[in-house]
Structure 1
Amino acid sequence: MFYRHPILLTAGCLALFAIGQNAGAQLQLQVGRSAPFQTLEQARDAIRKMKADGKYPAEGVVVEIGEGVYPVRDTFELGPSDAGLPGAPVVYRARPGANVVLSGGTSIPFSKFEKVSDPATLSRLISEARNKVLVADLAALGIRDYGDIKQQGFSTPFLPAHMEVYGNDRLFELAKWPNEGSLKIGKVLDSGAIPMNELHGGKFQDPALLNPDYVPRGGTFEFDYDRADRWKLASDIWLKGVFSRGFAHDNLQVEKIDFEKRTLTTVQPHLYGISAWADTNPMTKSRHYVVYNLLEELDRPGECFVDKESGKLYLMPREEKPLDRVEITVFEKPFIAIENTAHIRIEGVTLENGRGMGIYMENAEQVVLDNLTVRGFGILGIMMGQGVEGGHEGPVHEFTGTPVSRYVGNIKAHHYENSTWDRRAGKNCTIQNCRIYNTGQGGVIIDGGSKVDLSAGNNRIVNCELYRNSNLRASYSPAVSIYGVGNAVRNCRIHHQPHNAVTLFGNDHAVEFNEIDHILQEGYEDMGAFYIGRNPSDMGNRVVGNYFHDICADEHRRITGVYLDDGTGGTLVASNIFYKVGSPRFGAAYVHFGHRNTIQQNVFIDCPAPVKFILSTPRWETRRKSALWEKRLFEDIDINAPPYSERYPLLDGFLDVASRTNTVSGNIFVNCEEGCGTSGGKVGLDQDGDLLLEGNRAVKLELPLTPFRLEMLRKAPLKGVTECASIPLDKIGLQSGN
């Protein structure tokens, strides 16, 4: 680790080069200065002048950045005048061997921390923690912008995070209780407002449920523990957990605690209202919460608390390594904005510790982000395309807002009402060889292409590793969200996400040759590692050649590896390996009342069931006659006219069929507890079956007990199985040499 000395760069740290015609040669440009540039903006402006003077080299330009930590206090903007040329890009890159960091944080010297000595503060800490908690006076250091904790829950806007704290590059968690496990939601006295009903008429848009006088009112429920008696001096207390539906995590602020009646009242409503825990079904069993942002609960290494009134930061260092670096996030805007420009490359740098996002791209073409480390961002690592402003305060399932640049907002809710929304992402861009981790509300959002004319965006995420991308918003903050048409996620490793890994909207996308594991880890349910749903025109998508593993649950949860939800059709799921994936009810791949999907030549190993299909005829009948599908299928686009009728013959009569058949063919089931099955339908051997089974094989094999790495799949006895299924093992996962 290096320290944050080089704020102003010394000679040789930043230079402007042209790529020479001789192999390996680089010719330093004469730009009227003898010293290196001190900022990226200076180098960018020099290139602009070079172009204006007609001196742009035919081979392009390279800006090399020397070793150091560069504080980010404004967005580095690259626009139309900063574009390179085909075959002659503008390249911003770390000098070979240099550790280059762009940081939106502020470093707090460890010497500024001391043990807590104030008697009033010590009295609020548990006795075991009093000698272990350290405090630094941020206000005395001139730091007074601590940000605010926000709801950041299901169907709420994606907004910049509060000030977060990193020690030795690891996130400190706001002090919580309990440290392990969670609390069951007690008897609900008042569910609070129910935005899903009052704003939208519920899931079936029932006008009787609408409330013209809607007020975003929190709910009240009982608790049965004495621990709350310690919190009487606390303010700004928050809850996080699942308050109704098992897929809908939320963060709710506590308005008041009635210590006599043992009740908690929240400030904000949850989208579905607050519901009590019950031991009746997977959805009700998933309801839980923890209490956080409490000085009184700062009792475990890796926790922190910010007292905004006094301006003091309290933390308990982790014990495995001496704490030599503490950094707090400060900057909220994108670090880099690449807009209305082309032929730019950014290579080999680290972007870290911002409250917002790392890189924003809009109307970009032939932009390459290569070998970047993007970490410690409160919202996202990288986003392609505009966000949206507007909507009611708090959770809203669908609305039409105002598209805006360099902002996220409630993209999902706006897209729900505007399925052909052109987010102006761009085309032919590549994010490759990057590590994107420790982000708060998702990893990467890519878009591009047109849902109207089905032209492809051809934007790609390739050979990247993404993990821990949901630190603040635990559900529906996937490592990768894909919108538009014709984009791809290939050869990535996506792992250790509390909720799903990849969410897809649109057409002709490819999710290929990725390793996806340890997803849906924290008790959520009714979800898949890969998820698509609720728009049958989203056809032509491919989930091919991936290795899904260690994504499993017992009968108390409903999870799966590939979830084709709410009428999805025309998706190909082929040549994948599923090892220990799914739950008994959902299986490793799950189709929810859609049809004309193909699941073929996959290998399912030690899965509760390979494929499950739920017919759900009442829901199918409701959906196919709904105003939502009328708008999406015949107003936003027309599935009966070109280009849809030509590109997707499967859409012909899609809504009119009596029997909805999905084909499951050429798969191998290794040691699976059950075979394929349906709920509300039947397994058939002809076109009258809801699952058309063709040429599948069930086998029993003695397998090693050790965890399955990719290399193990290349060995006997599984080598013969995977070869039989024509699965290209050497193409799966991260690839060296890219």
Structure 2
Amino acid sequence: MKSGFYWLASLCVFVILNSVTPLTGQDNPKGIAFYVSKDGSDKYSGKLPEANANNTDGPFATIEKARDVIYALKQKKQLPTGVVTVNIRSGTYHLTKPFELTKWDSGSEKTSIVYRAYNNEKVKLIGGKEITGFKPIDDPAILKRIESPYRDKIVQVNLKAQGIKDFGEMKPRGMGRPVYPAGIELFFQDKPMQLARWPNNDWVKIAGVPAGQKGGKFTYDGDRPEHWRDTKDIWLHGYWTWDWADSYETVKTIDTVKKEVSTCEPHGVYGYSVGKRYYALNILEELDEPGEWYLDRKTGILYFWPPGPLSEGKTYVSLTDTLIQMKDVSYITLQGLEIAICRGNAVEITGGSNNRIAGCTLRNIGNVAVKITGGTENGVTGCDIYACGDGGIVLNGGDRLTLTSANNYATNNHIHNYNRWVSTYRPAIKISGVGNRISNNLIHDSPHSAIILNGNEHIIEYNEIHHVCMETNDAGAFYMGRDYSERGNIIRYNYFHDLGSGDVQAIYLDDFASGTTVFGNVIYKGKRGVVIGGGRDNIVQNNIFVSCSIAAIHVDARGIRKPWAKKYFDGTDTTLTGRLMMIKYKFPPYANKYPEIITLYDGNPAIPEGNKVICNIASGGKWLDLRDGVNEEIVKIQNNFVNEDPCFVNPTKLNFQLKDDSPAYKLGFQRIPMENIGLYKDEFRLSLPGS
């Protein structure tokens, strides 16, 4: 999957990436091992990998039993020093409720606890139920609603007859709205199926807004809605006003004479605007291609057009919201498992310390794969994450009032296709708090951002990011903004390439983002490389920009010249000042750590002072775009290598390392360790994409 920088890093570079002592084999010379098997029994001791000859002892049947036995040993103070390992044998384990670990299930610095796949066997923990018994549609009224060429392609099954009565519910969701569980979904051959929609692979445009942008209704062209018999549970997904804000809305009424759609409140994020795009879904009449499905929630009958023979794959529906919940637990590792098919978040870690999700595959998730909230030294490493509804990893921790770091991390993960439901502001990794790290991840194929940052003192390094922001405009592969207090963040040694075709920036320091260091990144085919949107005290240094068609670097003073931005300085909108006051910026630790913030409002904060553009390389495309009266007296621009041959090693093969005799070195440019960018093999990641 990688392009250009597909080299393995030496092990010594990455020693610091794994702060918890790793496992060194399947056996535990110091510790104790338990086993779980589909053929086991919770009446056994769990100390054997398979049942003995007379079936009097063997592995446990459930991971819950293993957890409870470890808890009992801990209560008796009989846990040994070393590693307590729960070896899970191959098979699919159905979790009808979350597997819960609490502080009572913790390990310690001397005794870590690991739940892992035994000998790399295929172990699946899923929150769904397999569905069987599909048959042709036999209801004439239903057949009449389906176009005749497709009737013999679609099958049906009664979910209620198979004991499934809780279908969840669809709710308004999207940019700026709460994250709700997705409700029931359908999966076939380990892939999510498409809720019946129109148009199938495209968008339609809003024709008019008769009641104005905020009026809750719009008109459409054509006559397609005339085919829809039941409009009670039709949903619309659209970019209703801006190409960086999507949401799902439910239809209230459709007037096919006026060709007018009315929606239930809240009527689309930012209202409705002429010419903006949307599509409709959850419509039986639109079940017209392989892979689509529809559920009649009253009868419980599910209709499905399988994209292949049903005998050649299993069909599941999602039931459980969250699969694994770890609250205030410490020194726990989940390793080598497939965690899949749920309506909400697959794994939630709240508080605790030194917990790892390592070498797992997380897919077919309703919301996000892993959500880490608080705690210290908690992380996700070596995982493959895809087919998520609302992003990949949420990484939070640290205290913003005291600037205390959490040291939580997301490292060496392959994250792609992570926006099945909400498209915007649900990134591959959302990082917040203080002092967390995102490193060596490969992120690609998304309609919007790869990384969104809030907070202070985070490090974003050695990541490869490509083919993101593919469906949006005014977007950034990396994004942060609208908070003067979020400082001390470092974005270094990342490779951004082949980003979306619209108004897309590789590194977007939006709306007064300040105090960020952008060092040693390589940006190829980003429309803009780095945008400083009115912020202060940012350093853009030692980066390589290649073929950035709009500008390698953009700096503006939007707070002075843009009417919409002036509100942050004329008292109309107190967002910026309010966020400063919340962290008491004129007192320690902020006053000590970021002294320039103390006098921010003594002059004109809308002037983007303190920014530095130093010793960068730009090859092809446009170099510098200074807007709104910004000039070299406001921004320090020094020793940049522009419009000359920098002597790349092999640019035709996307190797943008500099040759030893590059003239850029004479200006003070420092070598970028490109060989360390991206994924690497270790005990958790046994192979690389494409190998």
- Aligning the two structures, in what range does the TM-score lie when normalised by the shorter sequence? 0.7 to 0.9
- SS in structure 2 opposite 1:699? coil
Query: In the TM superposition, what is the alpha-carbon distance from 1:507 to its structure 2 partner?
Result: 0.2
Q: 2:294 aligns with which of 305, 316, 325?
A: 305
Cα distance in 2 for partners of 1:509, 1:665 equals 22
Cα distance in 2 for partners of 1:12, 1:74 equals 18
Query: In the TM superposition, what is the alpha-carbon distance from 1:117 to its structure 2 partner?
Result: 4.3
- SS in structure 1 opposite 2:352? strand
- Name the aligned partner's letter for residue 120 of structure 2: G
- SS in structure 1 opposite 2:355? strand
Q: Deviations over 1:632-654 (max 9, x none)?
A: 213x2222221112112332423
1:630 partnered with 2:577? yes
- The corresponding residue for 2:21 is none
Contact 1:191–1:273, Cα closer than 8 Å, also in 2: no
1:383 partnered with 2:324? no
Contact 1:152–1:250, Cα closer than 8 Å, also in 2: yes
Query: In the TM superposition, what is the alpha-carbon distance from 1:704 to its structure 2 partner?
Result: 13
Query: In the TM superposition, what is the alpha-carbon distance from 1:272 to its structure 2 partner?
Result: 4.8
Query: In the TM superposition, what is the alpha-carbon distance from 1:131 to its structure 2 partner?
Result: 2.7
- SS in structure 1 opposite 2:129? strand
- The corresponding residue for 1:641 is 587
1:142 partnered with 2:139? no
Q: 1:45–1:12: structure 2 CA closer, same or farther, 3 Å change rule?
A: closer
Cα distance in 2 for partners of 1:628, 1:276 equals 26
- SS in structure 1 opposite 2:356? strand
Query: In the TM superposition, what is the alpha-carbon distance from 1:171 to its structure 2 partner?
Result: 0.7
Q: 1:430–1:50: structure 2 CA closer, same or farther, 3 Å change rule?
A: same
- The corresponding residue for 1:90 is 113
Q: Deviations over 1:312-367 (max 9, x none)?
A: 212222259974211100112x2111112211111111111011111111111011
The within-5 A match list for 1:53-452 is 53-109=76-132, 112-191=133-212, 219-270=216-267, 272-278=269-275, 287-319=276-308, 323-332=312-321, 334-385=322-373, 425-452=374-401
Cα distance in 2 for partners of 1:693, 1:655 equals 27
- The corresponding residue for 1:391 is none
Query: In the TM superposition, what is the alpha-carbon distance from 1:468 to its structure 2 partner?
Result: 1.7
Cα distance in 2 for partners of 1:44, 1:568 equals 45
Q: 1:610 aligns with which of 531, 552, 564?
A: 552
**TM-score of the two chains, using structure 1 as the length reference:** 0.80
Contact 1:495–1:519, Cα closer than 8 Å, also in 2: yes
Cα distance in 2 for partners of 1:552, 1:696 equals 26
Cα distance in 1 for partners of 2:512, 2:537 equals 10
Cα distance in 1 for partners of 2:77, 2:618 equals 64
Query: In the TM superposition, what is the alpha-carbon distance from 1:478 to its structure 2 partner?
Result: 0.9
The within-5 A match list for 1:476-515 is 476-515=425-464
Cα distance in 1 for partners of 2:510, 2:270 equals 23
Compute the RMSD of aligned alpha carbons: 2.9
- The corresponding residue for 2:597 is 651
- SS in structure 2 opposite 1:342? coil
Cα distance in 2 for partners of 1:48, 1:265 equals 56
Q: 2:74 aligns with which of 32, 38, 51?
A: 51
Q: 1:714–1:621: structure 2 CA closer, same or farther, 3 Å change rule?
A: closer
Q: 1:602–1:311: structure 2 CA closer, same or farther, 3 Å change rule?
A: same
Query: In the TM superposition, what is the alpha-carbon distance from 1:271 to its structure 2 partner?
Result: 5.7
Contact 1:671–1:700, Cα closer than 8 Å, also in 2: no
Q: 1:9 aligns with which of 14, 36, 39?
A: 39
1:518 partnered with 2:459? no
Query: In the TM superposition, what is the alpha-carbon distance from 1:120 to its structure 2 partner?
Result: 2.5
**TM-score of the two chains, using structure 2 as the length reference:** 0.86
Q: 1:95–1:258: structure 2 CA closer, same or farther, 3 Å change rule?
A: same
Query: In the TM superposition, what is the alpha-carbon distance from 1:570 to its structure 2 partner?
Result: 0.7
The within-5 A match list for 1:671-710 is 671-672=620-621, 674-684=622-632, 688-690=633-635, 692-699=637-644
Cα distance in 2 for partners of 1:642, 1:705 equals 49
- Name the aligned partner's letter for residue 613 of structure 1: V
Cα distance in 2 for partners of 1:120, 1:718 equals 75
Query: In the TM superposition, what is the alpha-carbon distance from 1:58 to its structure 2 partner?
Result: 1.3
Contact 1:713–1:719, Cα closer than 8 Å, also in 2: no
- Name the aligned partner's letter for residue 111 of structure 2: A
Query: In the TM superposition, what is the alpha-carbon distance from 1:8 to its structure 2 partner?
Result: 4.6
Cα distance in 2 for partners of 1:259, 1:372 equals 50
Q: 1:41 aligns with which of 48, 64, 80?
A: 64
- The corresponding residue for 1:566 is 511
Q: 1:566–1:633: structure 2 CA closer, same or farther, 3 Å change rule?
A: same
Query: In the TM superposition, what is the alpha-carbon distance from 1:716 to its structure 2 partner?
Result: 8.4
Contact 2:658–2:671, Cα closer than 8 Å, also in 1: no
- Name the aligned partner's letter for residue 597 of structure 2: L
- SS in structure 2 opposite 1:131? helix
Cα distance in 1 for partners of 2:96, 2:642 equals 60
Q: Deviations over 1:603-651 (max 9, x none)?
A: 11111110112211346653245533333213x2222221112112332
Cα distance in 2 for partners of 1:682, 1:252 equals 41
- Name the aligned partner's letter for residue 470 of structure 2: Q
Contact 1:458–1:487, Cα closer than 8 Å, also in 2: yes
Q: Deviations over 1:7-38 (max 9, x none)?
A: 953379998569xxxxxxx9x9xxxx833222
Cα distance in 1 for partners of 2:526, 2:312 equals 38
Cα distance in 1 for partners of 2:274, 2:306 equals 35
Contact 2:646–2:658, Cα closer than 8 Å, also in 1: no
Cα distance in 2 for partners of 1:238, 1:163 equals 15
- The corresponding residue for 2:672 is 727
Query: In the TM superposition, what is the alpha-carbon distance from 1:558 to its structure 2 partner?
Result: 2.6
Q: 1:569–1:713: structure 2 CA closer, same or farther, 3 Å change rule?
A: same
Cα distance in 1 for partners of 2:489, 2:356 equals 24
Cα distance in 2 for partners of 1:143, 1:719 equals 68
- SS in structure 1 opposite 2:40? coil
Bigger drift between 53-62 and 571-580 goes to 53-62
Contact 1:14–1:64, Cα closer than 8 Å, also in 2: no
Contact 2:47–2:59, Cα closer than 8 Å, also in 1: no
1:459 partnered with 2:408? yes
Contact 2:98–2:325, Cα closer than 8 Å, also in 1: yes
Q: 1:726–1:362: structure 2 CA closer, same or farther, 3 Å change rule?
A: same
Cα distance in 1 for partners of 2:114, 2:652 equals 41
Bigger drift between 132-141 and 290-299 goes to 132-141
- Name the aligned partner's letter for residue 577 of structure 2: E
Bigger drift between 639-648 and 256-265 goes to 639-648
Cα distance in 1 for partners of 2:191, 2:547 equals 35
Q: 2:495 aligns with which of 539, 547, 557?
A: 547
Cα distance in 1 for partners of 2:676, 2:445 equals 22
- Name the aligned partner's letter for residue 223 of structure 1: Y
- SS in structure 2 opposite 1:511? strand
Query: In the TM superposition, what is the alpha-carbon distance from 1:101 to its structure 2 partner?
Result: 0.7
Q: What is the number of residues matched between the two proteins? A: 631
Cα distance in 1 for partners of 2:250, 2:651 equals 43
Query: In the TM superposition, what is the alpha-carbon distance from 1:735 to its structure 2 partner?
Result: 0.9
